[in-house]
């Protein structure tokens, strides 16, 4: 079986992301032979190597779905700066895909982008929705902000400076305060609660300043209508 035939059979397998062992079983070959064959297909641009033993079909995977495949068997969901940007809460485009998982903190560099995974305690792993069409697990705006504040006391500098927030009208601050009470550590719960209230004040001040600037500028001028005294053009 040559590479072209192997590639055609893999496409018929019906999986956009799969492991070496899956391909070996489907093709009825050994794992080592499958690994070598898949590497050759990836070298030719027919497959993408996401991590050791995990492959994807080009053009069939939403990059935001990467975390779930990279952290398996541990669950994960897109959060932090990536989810905040997705929901329009921040304007800065993250240069990597940020996600949280009950697995360990680590970074993956893939052909579809860099994915930064950050560990959460299992009891704090909630507050996300799964998009059925793309298979993306995405944090709600409230949980994405809370995850950011939760990780801010960590040694990493990634979450020290909170970007300027533009909270949506439906943002549920009460829900965030309730979720904060689920943080097991008293110290971290206290720090997160303080940081959240500070962020709410900052966001409120920013909105007031924007409204004040808009009021000073006034409404946009009405277009000038030009009237002709000569009447309508003659009919020819």
* CATH number for the domain that contains residue 51: 1.10.10
**Residues 160-186, mean pLDDT to the nearest whole number:** 92
Would you place residue 220 in the very low, low, confident or very high pLDDT band (cuts 50, 70, 90)? low
Residue-wise pLDDT tens digits, 45-72: 999 999 999 999 999 999 999 999 999 9
Count of CB atoms situated within 10 Å of the CB of 224: 5
Clarify whether residues 126 and 192 are in a common domain: yes
Percent of the chain as helix, strand, coil, to the nearest 5: 45, 15, 40
Tell whether 16 is covered by a domain. yes
Do 163 and 84 lie in one domain? The reply is yes
**Who has greater pLDDT, 62 or 208?**
62
Position 199 in a domain: yes
Judgement on whether residues 42 and 100 belong to the same structural domain of the protein? no
Asked whether residue 119 is assigned to any structural domain, the reply reads yes
Is the confidence at residue 234, as pLDDT, over 70?
A: no
Angle at the Cα of 109 from the Cα atoms of 108 and 115, rounded to 5 degrees: 55
According to the model, what pLDDT value does residue 90 have?
95
Q: Are residues 73 and 172 in the same domain?
A: yes
Residue 41 shares a structural domain with residue 128:
no
Spatial contact of 89 and 138, defined as CB atoms under 8 Å apart: no
Greater confidence (162 vs 72) lies with 72
3-class secondary structure per residue, 126-141: CCEEEECCCCEEEECH
Domain match, 108 and 149 both: yes
Q: How many whole angstroms separate alpha carbon 79 and alpha carbon 68?
A: 12
Do 67 and 51 lie in one domain? The reply is no
pLDDT mean across residues, the chain: 87
Give me the pLDDT at residue 82, please.
97
pLDDT > 60? residue 219: no
**Cβ-proximal residues to 176 (8 Å cutoff; 6+ apart), any chain:** 142, 145, 146, 196
In a domain, residue 229? The reply is: no
Same domain (yes/no): 89, 105: yes
pTM greater than 0.85 (yes/no)? no
Domain that holds residue 175: 63-215
Number of folded domains that form the chain: 2
């Amino acid at each position: 079986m040559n590479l072209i035939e192997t590639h055609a059979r893999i496409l018929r397998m019906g999986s956009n992301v799969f492991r070496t062992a899956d391909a070996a079983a489907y093709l009825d070959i050994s794992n080592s032979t499958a690994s070598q064959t898949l590497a050759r297909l990836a070298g030719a641009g027919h497959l993408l190597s996401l991590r050791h033993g995990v492959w994807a079909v080009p053009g069939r995977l939403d990059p935001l779905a990467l975390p779930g495949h990279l952290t398996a068997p541990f669950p994960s969901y897109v959060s932090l700066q990536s989810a905040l940007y997705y929901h329009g809460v921040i304007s800065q485009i993250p240069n990597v895909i940020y996600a949280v998982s009950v697995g360990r903190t680590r970074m993956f560099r893939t052909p579809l982008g860099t994915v930064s995974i950050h560990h959460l305690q299992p009891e704090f792993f909630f507050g996300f929705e799964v998009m059925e069409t793309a298979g993306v697990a995405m944090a709600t705006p409230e949980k994405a902000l809370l995850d950011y504040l939760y990780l801010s006391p960590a040694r990493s500098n990634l979450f020290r400076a909170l970007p300027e927030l533009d909270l949506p009208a439906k943002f549920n601050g009460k829900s965030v305060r309730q979720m904060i009470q689920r943080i097991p550590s008293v110290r971290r719960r206290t720090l997160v609660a303080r940081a959240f209230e500070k962020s709410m004040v900052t966001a409120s001040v920013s909105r007031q300043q924007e409204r004040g600037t808009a009021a000073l500028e006034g409404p946009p001028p009405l277009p000038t209508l030009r009237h002709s005294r000569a009447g309508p053009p003659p009919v020819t």
